[in-house]
Structure 1
Amino acid sequence: MSEGFVRHGGSQDVVATFSGFEADLLRSLASQLVELLRNEAAAPRASDPLEAMLDFSGPTTEPEDPVLARLFPTAYQHDEEAAGEFRRFTEGTLRDGKARNAVLMIDMLEEAGLPPELEEDGLWIDVELDPGQANAWLRSFTDIRLALATRLGIEEGDEDYWESLPEEDPRVHVHDIYEWVGYLQETLVRALWV
């Protein structure tokens, strides 16, 4: 198992070594996040860049998918009109940013040597992140964990429940992935700021 992220020498960069399986799992999680973000379009895409910058025709209602609703919560719980206006002006940009962060993770894993199809056992790859890239990875880790927590129904303080599930319950393995991504996130924060 990966030791997580550590500071790279005396620089501000951080590095992690992943097994091929771990890197492929991260790529899969990031790919699923991108697909989810882009599957339910937040706004029509304008072909003219200036028009796209000035286009505020985004959605005004909460997404139907519970994960998207968690990633893009309603800003004003008691004012539906204000919440709709806020969503219209912000959600498209937020979706694009989240997708860009996840795509960066995928690209960096592949640039570090992760093949398009993982076939060989014993592959290890090193990923080195500058501070900007590390922040993008942190945001993606947060989004991935929110998505997993929402799908699993994880709530604060329910650790005993998850520990009591039998090993053969398929949710246990997904919960282990949720915990592992949290571990990576924690080591990345520590490497950056401690």
Structure 2
Amino acid sequence: MSGNFEALPGGGAAVSLDEVEVSILRSLAVQMLELIGPGDEPAEGEDPLAALFQDGPSEPPSDPALARLFPDAYGKPGAEAADEDPELRAASAEFRRFTENDLRARKREDALAVVRSLDGLVHDGRAGGRLELTAEESRHWLGALNDLRLTIGTRLDVTDEDEGSGLYRLPDGDPRKPMVMAYLWLGILQETLIDTLIS
């Protein structure tokens, strides 16, 4: 797989993707949209402004991947609620209530931007080619790539100590191998996209 972004004049980025790469990225972005869930659209006749100020959830998600995407603002990462200070739990719940809906909306926008730009690479029923992103599209892609890596890393139980571990040298028959390969490839995409945005 390729996956090296290059800087474009004006702050954008470009990468060449073949049909398989487009398919993988699009599939992962769609799965991310499904994981995050639909947005809360105002009911018919409901004031859209009031819907903007609707409270979000106050409890962390039970799915470990969603908990990684929407972590508590206070306390130790991965700490059991019973082990935490009740004041920190209350502060985290309050913070989540006012921020999670916006964070979910942003993550949906990021994943949708990936799907839309990849759909633009489909010509005559075939996907692939040189993808050119504006600076704003590049920022959406960076957010989506980060979310995808966090999700896959959580599903694989990747930790900071796993660098150079056996997880990256799995035999071809291991069912985790495709996820590990996707995780590593997304890391290359993310790293080269960051480099283009800061150069």
The TM-score with structure 1 as length reference comes to 0.87
Deviation at 1:124, TM superposition (A): 2.8
For residues 3 and 99 of structure 1, the distance between their equivalents in structure 2, rounded to whole angstroms, comes to 23
Q: Which SS does the other structure have where 1:61 is aligned? A: coil
What's the Cα RMSD here?
1.9
Contact 1:114 1:125 in 2 (8 A): no
Gap regions ≥5 residues in structure 1: none
For residues 67 and 137 of structure 1, the distance between their equivalents in structure 2, rounded to whole angstroms, comes to 19
Instruction: List aligned pairs for 1:75-94, cutoff 5 A.
Output: 75-77=73-75, 78=85, 79-94=88-103
Residue 70 (structure 1) aligns with? 68
For residues 54 and 191 of structure 1, the distance between their equivalents in structure 2, rounded to whole angstroms, comes to 36
Residue 2 (structure 2) aligns with? 2
Contact 2:10 2:135 in 1 (8 A): no
> Given the superposition, is the C-alpha separation of residues 3 and 148 from structure 1 closer, same or farther in structure 2, using an over 3 Å criterion?
closer
Residue 150 (structure 2) aligns with? 146
Instruction: List aligned pairs for 1:69-148, cutoff 5 A.
Output: 69-77=67-75, 78=85, 79-113=88-122, 123-148=127-152
For residues 163 and 181 of structure 1, the distance between their equivalents in structure 2, rounded to whole angstroms, comes to 14
Deviation at 1:114, TM superposition (A): 6.5
For residues 128 and 146 of structure 1, the distance between their equivalents in structure 2, rounded to whole angstroms, comes to 25
Listed one character per residue, the Cα deviations across residues 53-81 of structure 1 (whole Å, up to 9, x for unaligned) are 2222x111010110000001111223111
Deviation at 1:129, TM superposition (A): 0.8
Aligned residues: 184
2:29 counterpart letter in structure 1: A
Q: Which SS does the other structure have where 1:170 is aligned? A: coil
> Given the superposition, is the C-alpha separation of residues 97 and 130 from structure 1 closer, same or farther in structure 2, using an over 3 Å criterion?
same
Contact 2:3 2:188 in 1 (8 A): no
1:177 counterpart letter in structure 2: A
For residues 169 and 198 of structure 2, the distance between their equivalents in structure 1, rounded to whole angstroms, comes to 35
Residue 54 (structure 1) aligns with? 53
> Given the superposition, is the C-alpha separation of residues 190 and 82 from structure 1 closer, same or farther in structure 2, using an over 3 Å criterion?
same
For residues 189 and 168 of structure 2, the distance between their equivalents in structure 1, rounded to whole angstroms, comes to 20
Residue 38 (structure 1) aligns with? 37
Deviation at 1:173, TM superposition (A): 1.8
Indicate the percent of aligned positions where both proteins have the same amino acid: 36
Contact 1:17 1:126 in 2 (8 A): yes
1:177 and 2:182 matched = yes
Contact 2:168 2:180 in 1 (8 A): no
Residue 22 (structure 1) aligns with? 21
Gap regions ≥5 residues in structure 2: 76-84
Deviation at 1:112, TM superposition (A): 2.2
For residues 142 and 23 of structure 2, the distance between their equivalents in structure 1, rounded to whole angstroms, comes to 18
Contact 2:74 2:92 in 1 (8 A): yes
